Amino acid sequence: LEKVREAVAPSNGVPIDWKPKSDPASIQADVLQNLEFTIGAPSSKIPNEVDVKTAYRGVAASLREHLIDAFNRTQDYWSKEDPKFVYYLSAEFLMGRSLLNTVQNLELTGPYSEAIKKLGYDLETLVDAEQNAALGNGGLGRLAACFIDSMATLDLPGWGYGIRYKYGMFKQAIDAKGYQQELPDIWLSNGNPWEIARPEITYKIGFYGTVDNFKWSPAEQVIAKAYDNPIPGYKTNTVGNLRLWEALPLNEFDLDAFNKGEYDKAVEERRKAEDISAVLYPNDATEYGKQLRLKQQYFFVSASIQDVLARFKEKHAGNWSLLPEKAIFQMNDTHPTIAVAELMRLLIDQEGLDWDTAWGITIKTLAFTNHTVMPEALEKWPVAVLGKLLPRHLEIIDKIDTIWKDSLKEKILAQVEQEKNSAPPKAEPAAKAPAKDDKKAAEEEEEEEEEEDPVEAALSKYGIITEIPWQKDVKVINMAYLAVVGSKAVNGVAAIHSEIIKDTIFKDFYEVMPEKFQNKTNGVTPRRWLAWCNPALAELITQTLGTDAWINETTLLAGLRQHADDKAFQAKWRAVKHAAKEKLSHKIKALMGIDLPTDPLYDVQIKRIHEYKRQYLNILSLIYRYHQIKTATPEEKAKMVPRVSIFGGKAASAYYAAKKIVRLINRVGTVVNSDPDVGDLLKIVFVPDYNVDLAEVLIPGAELSQHISTAGTEASGTSNMKFAMNGCLIIGTMDGANIEIAQETGKENMFVFGMDAEDVPVWREGKRKEWKDYDPRFVKALDMIKSGTFGEVDYFKDLVESVSVMNDHNNDWFLVAPDFTDYMRAQDEVDKLYADQDEWTRRSILYTAGSGFFSSDRTIDQYAKEIWDVVPCKRH
């Protein structure tokens, strides 16, 4: 009987009359069936008269069957085996499109392409009909998406947990005057065939209310409803899960109010609840909407932890000490860090554990990744705000803070004693606060300090709850500190970044618990970011290496090194790159109506617009290049290296300086592109609405990419890794993962410029106050803006001033002016090298060859072994 059951239902009792379809004829039949019976298209119109979007849905519905089959088997298997799981808590998952990735990861591209052709469409057109799932801002959200792809590929039991935003990252349009416009991203309008709604999986989430004797009575409650998104691994049967939560009202509809004619009131509760999962915050730079954002964070964290605990209880009821052996939550930046207090609350208030037991479990079950040192992104919630929304959590955080500081008292006391005895009284180092304040303030401060107990003073820097220096009496909760204290491990995302956090934002914490701190250099999935987005290059690599095993074993890419000098191979490589440039130029023509020549150097800078990422530096150098072209003799012109400069990226809606940079790039582009003196020597294009699917065309087509952040500011960068994989040379600073890319590729092959991370603070604190050596080319570029070459003189005034008024303490914080000269030197090298196509191509090959380390498979393997203690669990 067992055998019969096995044959009918090979995976622990899943009843199946469903068989995978892998030949074109049965796939074709399946798509037709889905078009009619899943999508509801009238049979009279199938297949030739359904529109492309409908055809896409039919194909997606057919693929969904494969996904669900493997998903159910994987999840059943995991449930039976009961391995330790990792839960990746992230407010953002920037998934992009799924059709191509799904068909490729399931290894069904050949038969599906053929079947789709027979139905009168082609795969590429249907791929383009899909809406982008843009539930993320940028690097952090896309990293989460790469990570879950790698988790599935490596057969690691793990789920992503996040929010099913109804509206994702805003759509960006550029108007005729060059301004950024923000439009809602209505990404679900054509349905979402990749998700499985789970109306049966719901949790209650409370807000506000009161606490009486440790018992919280929330004044408001909403429902979190689950949606599962199967995540297929590659070359494995494993299909992982991304579970996203939607907020719904407890009471759908107030019929009483409705009957009284109070129509708004009848749906008020619903609207209020739905607001929680309505919009992704486009703002990683400013602070508005605090309340709702915190509500979102708590909403998804609470639902996710409740979900995990519910499953744990089913299997191991009561045995809470086992939890750290069965689950680990990775907190992606500070957004989910309320998890520390929520896990404590659930263990104590709901499960009845005592504080110490709960704490012992909590700090083994959570881990924290820091992704930035930008102060504005390190969340600090005012106590008043958090205490109102989550009163019980405030109590818990307060207690964590007290116990934590108490635990340090002895150590600090000893330190203070030692300092008293050994050292002669020494002056305190100057505080970081602007020295604007007069003597009086300083005296006051001194007085205060004199009164303070030295132990208390020393302890205050460890405070999770603190006063912000510039706003006395406003207490805030430093969520990063809460996470550091409540986690088993803390990691940065590139080697230099992991060092910087130990020296700066977490210095004091590192000193008292160095064992917690680790590095996990980011990575990207080689499937989406090389194999699937650049099929011609992938094919050439496979031919050359004699295997496609590099797709999961990217270190094999190093085998390309031995071909880097081979002229015949270089020619093939160049031809592939040229075809990718053509594809990119067609895309831009289709999107913007601009004709781009394909012989010039394709230079790309795509990322969120931010002063620290220095798109400004790039555009200023292009302004100078424009000036050079305008003043060149015909002979000089003939020697110039033609260039197409492409920008893409969104500015946070309330980040005015970033918006001005967007406009400046667009204004310069308009003037340069229409100037007959320039011709094909320079084209400047700002591609609107940069997102994952544009990246998939831009990255293969790029020959040079810019990663030029002020040293010490970009935690890692991940697009730098994608460009490197696709054989694109890098101009960059010694910042973030550029440093490791240079190590793997050969620093001599990168166009490195600018101050190092150690030089930057020295510059900021001292040198810049005397510095006057503005590069005349820099001055010229600014003069052109000031004199109206690009119009809007008044509008650009403060942007110009922001890098040109010296001796102002807050000016040119990101060192655009002092790095300009070296940047121009590096750009000259770029031009020189591009004239030598053989050498350029050789380096291009070396970039791909050196990119093996930057696979997210490697990163995830390290997380699994060094933090999570999660091992593969593979269903055969």
Catalytic residues: 371, 607-608, 613, 718, 722
Nearest alpha carbon to residue 584 among 598, 574, 572, 570: 598
Residue of this chain nearest to ligand C3B (CB atom): 139
Tell me if 247 sits within 8 A of 224, measured CB to CB: yes
CB of 755 to ligand C3B, least distance (A): 18
**CA–CA gap between residue 343 and residue 302 (Å, rounded):** 8
User: Residue 323 or 373: which CB sits closer to ligand C3B?
Assistant: 373
Dist. CA 214–CA 127, nearest whole Å: 53
SS3 261: coil
Instruction: Name the residue nearer to ligand C3B (CB basis): 341 or 493.
Output: 493
Q: Does position 279 bind ligand C3B by CB under 6 A?
A: no
The stretch among 102-110, 134-142, 150-158, 479-487 that binds ligand C3B (CB under 6 A) is 134-142
Strand 471-478 with 380-382, pairing: antiparallel
Piece of the chain touching ligand C3B by CB under 6 A; list 137-145, 203-211, 454-462, 580-588: 137-145
Q: Which is nearer to ligand C3B, 69 or 333 (CB)?
A: 333
Longest CA span, the chain: 93
β-strands 180-183, 215-217: how paired? Answer: unpaired
Question: Per rule CB under 6 A, is residue 696 in the interface with ligand C3B?
Answer: no
Q: Which stretch binds ligand C3B (CB under 6 A): 106-114, 160-168, 572-580, 714-722?
A: 714-722
Cβ at position 484, least distance to ligand C3B in Å: 16
Amino acid in the structure at residue 518: Q
CA-nearest of 300, 136, 171, 292 to 227 is: 300
Cβ at position 851, least distance to ligand C3B in Å: 15
* Cβ atoms within 10 Å, residue 664: 24
Name which of 132 and 522 has its Cβ closer to ligand C3B: 522
Residue given tokens 């843009």 in the structure block:
134
CA dist 195 and 184 (Å) reads 21
Q: Map tokens 């208390």 to a residue.
A: 456
Pick the piece of the chain touching ligand C3B (CB under 6 A) from 191-199, 597-605, 639-647, 715-723: 715-723
Compose the 487-506 pattern: x for residues touching ligand C3B by CB under 6 A, - for all others. Answer: ------x-------------
- Min separation Cβ 332 and ligand C3B, Å: 9
Q: Which is nearer to ligand C3B, 139 or 162 (CB)?
A: 139
Q: Which of the ranges 133-141, 173-181, 499-507, 784-792 carries the binding residues for ligand C3B, by CB under 6 A?
A: 133-141
DSSP string, 128-193: HTSPPEEES-SHHHHHHHHHHHHHHHTT--EEEEEE--SB-SPEEEE-TTS-EEEE---TTTT--T
Q: Is 507 helix (H, G, I), strand (E, B) or coil?
A: helix
CB of 87 to ligand C3B, least distance (A): 18
Closest CB 281 distance from ligand C3B, rounded Å? 10
- Nearest Cα residue to 816 out of 788, 774, 855, 871: 774
The dihedral formed by the CA atoms of 369, 372, 374 and 376, expressed in degrees to the nearest 10: -50
**Which member of 714, 744, 819, 857 binds ligand C3B (CB under 6 A)?**
714
333 binds ligand C3B (CB under 6 A): yes
Specify the residue, 28 or 491, whose C-beta has the smaller distance to ligand C3B.
Answer: 491
* Helix/strand/coil for 523: coil
Q: How many CB atoms lie within 10 A of CB 476?
A: 20
Phi, psi at 374, each rounded to 5°? -65, 120
Cα 383 to the center of its chain, rounded Å = 28
Residue 492: its H or E element: strand 490-492
Contact characters 438-477, ligand C3B, x per CB under 6 A: ----------------------------------------
* Residue found under tokens 């910042």: 735
Three-state SS for 609-667 is CCHHHCHHHHHHHHHHHHHHHHHCCHHHHHHCCCEEEEEECCCCCCCHHHHHHHHHHHH
Q: Does 371 bind ligand C3B (CB under 6 A)?
A: yes
Asked if 718 contacts 143 with a C-beta cutoff of 8 angstroms, the reply is yes
Of these, 140, 163, 490, 826, which contacts ligand C3B (CB under 6 A)?
Answer: 140
If binding is defined by CB under 6 A, does position 522 make contact with ligand C3B? yes
524: which DSSP letter? B
Q: Which of 30, 185, 284, 744 binds ligand C3B (CB under 6 A)?
A: 284
Q: Which is nearer to ligand C3B, 714 or 819 (CB)?
A: 714
Q: Of 359-367, 369-377, 553-561, 697-705, which part binds ligand C3B (CB under 6 A)?
A: 369-377
Beta-bridge partners for 497: none
Binding-residue total with ligand C3B (CB under 6 A): 18
Nearer residue to ligand C3B within complex by CB, 362 or 738: 738
Question: With respect to ligand C3B, which residue has the nearer C-beta, 228 or 735?
Answer: 735
Q: Is 642 left (phi over 0), alpha (psi -120 to 50) or beta?
A: beta
Among 39, 143, 484, 678, binds ligand C3B (CB under 6 A): 143
Q: Which stretch binds ligand C3B (CB under 6 A): 161-169, 316-324, 370-378, 430-438?
A: 370-378
Give the binding range for ligand C3B (CB under 6 A) out of 260-268, 450-458, 700-708, 716-724: 716-724
**For residue 225, what is the enclosing H or E element?**
strand 220-232
Q: Beta strand 158-163 with 239-249: parallel, antiparallel or unpaired?
A: parallel
Q: What letter does residue 201 receive in the DSSP assignment?
A: E
Among 563, 559, 570, 528, residue whose Cα is nearest residue 852: 559
Kindly state the smallest distance separating residue 284's Cβ from ligand C3B, in Å: 4
Q: How far apart are CB 372 and ligand C3B at their closest, in Å? A: 4
CB of 628 to ligand C3B, least distance (A): 33
Check residue 372 for interaction with ligand C3B (CB under 6 A).
yes
Minimum gap (Å) between residue 369 Cβ and ligand C3B: 7
Q: How near is the Cβ of 522 to ligand C3B at its closest, in Å?
A: 5
- 62 is a contact residue toward ligand C3B (CB under 6 A): no
Q: How far is the CB of 340 from ligand C3B (least distance, A)?
A: 19
Q: Which is nearer to ligand C3B, 570 or 618 (CB)?
A: 618
Quick one: 332 exposed, middle or buried, by C-beta within 10 A (0-12, 13-18, 19+)?
buried
Report which DSSP code applies to 18: -
Which residue in the block uniquely carries the two structure tokens 């991304």? 242
Nearest to ligand C3B of 458, 500 (CB atom):
500
Task: List beta partners, residue 161.
Answer: 89, 243
From candidates 138, 178, 600, 700, binder to ligand C3B by CB under 6 A = 138
User: Rounded to whole angstroms, what are the CA distances from 267 to 206, 218, 224, 291?
Assistant: 19, 21, 18, 21
Site map (CB under 6 A) of ligand C3B, residues 615-654, x = contact: ----------------------------------------
Binding mask 725-764 for ligand C3B (x = CB under 6 A): -----------x----------------------------
Among 717, 727, 732, 852, binds ligand C3B (CB under 6 A): 717
DSSP class per residue in 127-138: HHTSPPEEES-S
Question: Whose Cβ is closer to ligand C3B: residue 246's or residue 333's?
Answer: 333
Residue placing its CB nearer to ligand C3B in the complex, 629 or 715 = 715
Work out how close the CB of 138 gets to ligand C3B at its nearest, in angstroms, rounded to a whole number: 4
- Site of interaction with ligand C3B (CB under 6 A): 137-140, 143, 284, 333, 371-372, 377, 493, 522, 714-718, 736
